[in-house]
Structures are given as structure tokens and as C-alpha cells.
Chains A and B, each alone.
Chain A
Amino acid sequence: DAGITQSPRYKITETGRQVTLMCHQTWSHSYMFWYRQDLGHGLRLIYYSAAADITDKGEVPDGYVVSRSKTENFPLTLESATRSQTSVYFCASSEPGHGGELFFGEGSRLTVL
């Protein structure tokens, strides 16, 4: 099916462990984004990418690493997870020529113990 697929949907890990959240899109959209959703904060941009091999920081990038070697994939890595990174993470994509609409995945719920 076309769209954005995030994996895993649920993950429990421990403080200090490395975690990678995967994101795959089938539309060949140029832009991809990672947001985290926390109660009272809405959606906050972590990193975004305008094309393969081009990434840039968003509002809350500390503690996260991204890469984009292929247009369709945009993994997010927490190199040493902390409890404050417990959140729901959303990947999104967009194509500016289509009015800038963001297409979101269904989210990955991460719990750091």
C-alpha cells in the first residue's frame, strides 16, 4: 500500500540504549520530517530533510541523529535514550508543489525506562 510506514509502532527500551525508528514512504516526496508529540507541547519538529543526503535541525534536535541515504527512507536514531525522550514520534512527508500538505505516518510510541 502507498503511504508512510513507521516501525516499530511500539518500543520499550532502557536509559542509555540506542534506538532507531524507521520511516519509509512510497510517494517519492522530497521532504521528510520527524516530529515528537507530547501532551501540552503539540508536535515539535526534530529534524527534516529536503532530499537524499540533505538534513537539517528542527526545534528539538538534541539527542537525535538522522540520515537519508535514499529518498524513501528517513530513520531517526536515539544514540543514548533518556527518559525525557519518552514520546510518540511521527514521521511525515511532503512535496512543496502540492501545497505543502504534510502526510503523517501512524506514529511510533517509545517508552524509555
Chain B
Amino acid sequence: QQQVKQSPQSLIVQKGGISIINCAYENTAFDYFPWYQQFPGKGPALLIAIRPDVSEKKEGRFTISFNKSAKQFSLHIMDSQPGDSATYFCAASMGNFNKFYFGSGTKLNVKP
């Protein structure tokens, strides 16, 4: 049973558009929700993260929206650029960070 469900599997966005990736979880004990970005041939790298005590976190063009009651969170990439083309993973963790549960990933392609 997948702990974190991610959609869509792939996404094509025009340069300058908004990319939106969604994740849902069931376990209410999760208290840390990061997003990782992965370029081809590389390992994932932390992009942005949020805790459930806030509904939104913004870092530059990247925003996490968090809906605790719906057990959903999403990544918004504003003014998407070709350099944002990568695979994005949402994840969830609880307590002392010894286990992270990842979504299945979204391959984003930003067309110039």
C-alpha cells in the first residue's frame, strides 16, 4: 500500500506557465512533507519542505500548499522554465526522520 500518492505521472507545461503537482497521504502521524527534484542521471535533491502547522510555504517560484483536513499537499511552480524540467517527488515523514515515504514521481517537461 503506497503511503503517499502522487499525480500526475507526467506533465507538460509551456514556458512561463504554472506547474502543479499533487500528493495525498493517509497517515495523520506524518509531520514533515518535503519535495525533491531530480535531474536525469542525478540523485534527488531537496527543493522545499513544509510542516502541517502552516498552510503554505513559498521559496522563490516554488510554493507548497498544504491542506491538513484533506490530507493533501501540492507543489506549484510559477513562471515555469525549461531548466525546471525534471522529475519531482513528494514525500512524507514522521517523528525523527528515520523513514521517508515517497510518491511515485512526476516527470515535468517545460516547453520553451
A contact set with B: CB distance below 8 Å: 4, 31, 33, 35, 40-45, 48, 50, 56, 58-59, 90, 92, 94, 96, 99-102, 104-107
Chain B: CB-nearest residue to A98: B97
- Give CA–CA (A99, B45) in the complex, Å: 14
Q: Which of B56-64, B77-85, B102-110 contacts A (4 or more CB under 8 A)?
A: B102-110
Asked if A43 and B44 sit within 8 Å, CB to CB, the answer is: yes
Given A42-B89, A90-B44, A107-B43: A48 touches B98 (CB 8 Å cut-off): yes
- Chain B contact-residue range equals 20 to 34
Known contacts A100-B32, A105-B43, A107-B42; 10 additional CB pairs below 8 A are A48-B98, A50-B98, A59-B101, A96-B98, A99-B49, A100-B34, A102-B36, A102-B46, A106-B42, A107-B41
